[in-house]
Amino acid sequence: MHAIAIPDHAIASALKRRGKLHLYDTLLGPATALVVIDLQNAFMLPGMPAEVPLAREIVPNVNRLAAGVRSTGGTIAWVKMTIQDETRSWSHWFDYFMTAERKAAMLKALSRGEPGHQLHAGLDVKPSDIVVEKTRYSAFIQGSSDLDKILRGRGIDTVVVAGTLTNVCSESTARDAMMLNYKTVLVSDANATLTDAEHNATLGSILQVFGDVMTTDEVLARLSTDAGRGAARTA
């Protein structure tokens, strides 16, 4: 698990901007979606081309979050990075950001039907959950997925982001969620990347200007089915 240490300057900046550390005292369950980013075998299993070893350690917290959001009437969205020939309009990424060998490995690992494309077996995925494919780092940027349309159709106004990589797809998704007017929470101990430094830098950026940063326990403690309680506590 990452050694979580949000930079002091980020905490000070957040406090100066809004007068308190956390934006949200209550998370209304039926209006909340847990958005789990890219916890697929390609990122999770040893030897895979995009392996993030620490991502295996966050699975218990992700499952706890999923159970808590479900129990309060919320939505669980498992988001899968997908690369197919018809989704390769993002040619800049393919042509400049990876070697030919890595490109071939990523194409194979994240294509539909490949073992790497599948969600990790340790995740507690239920039939009532939704599974969404994305084709960009962010699940919310135009052309990437139908996630925004699906969540708005369910009355969701709050997005809790977990998954991998903290500083790439999770961060991109959280930033765009806030810009689309969702209340946004990035979960500090339910995201993972390759180094503590990268992880903590993202937590600091999100906390300052893009949303809230909470632990799994803090999210679960704030989940409520009572809209009146939420209004009272945030008034």
* Range with the largest mean pLDDT of 80-84, 169-173, 225-229: 169-173
Sign of CA dihedral 200, 44, 123, 169: positive
**98 contact partners, CB below 8 Å, separation of at least 6:** 106
Question: 217 is written with which tokens?
Answer: 């326990």
pLDDT at 234: 37
For residue 85, the model assigns a pLDDT of: 64
| 68 contacts 33 by C-beta, under 8 angstroms | no
Output 153-157 pairs: Cβ under 8 A, ≥24 positions apart: 154/33, 154/75, 155/30, 155/31, 156/31, 156/32, 156/33, 156/74, 156/75, 156/182, 157/31, 157/181, 157/182, 157/183
Question: Distances in Å between the alpha carbon of 122 and those of 3, 55, 125?
Answer: 23, 11, 9
Q: Would you mind telling me the total number of residues written for the chain in this entry?
A: 235
What are the Cα distances from residue 60, in Å, to 11, 123, 191? 27, 8, 11
How much is the pLDDT for 228?
53
CATH 3.40.50.300 fits 9-234, yes or no: no
Question: What value does the mean pLDDT take over residues 166-172?
Answer: 98
Q: Tell me the two tokens of residue 19.
A: 């007068």
Angle at 221 between CA 163 and CA 35, to 5 degrees: 25
Rg (CA), the chain: 17
Global pTM value = 0.92
pLDDT tens, residue by residue, 153-164: 999 999 999 999
Q: What is the pLDDT of residue 231?
A: 40
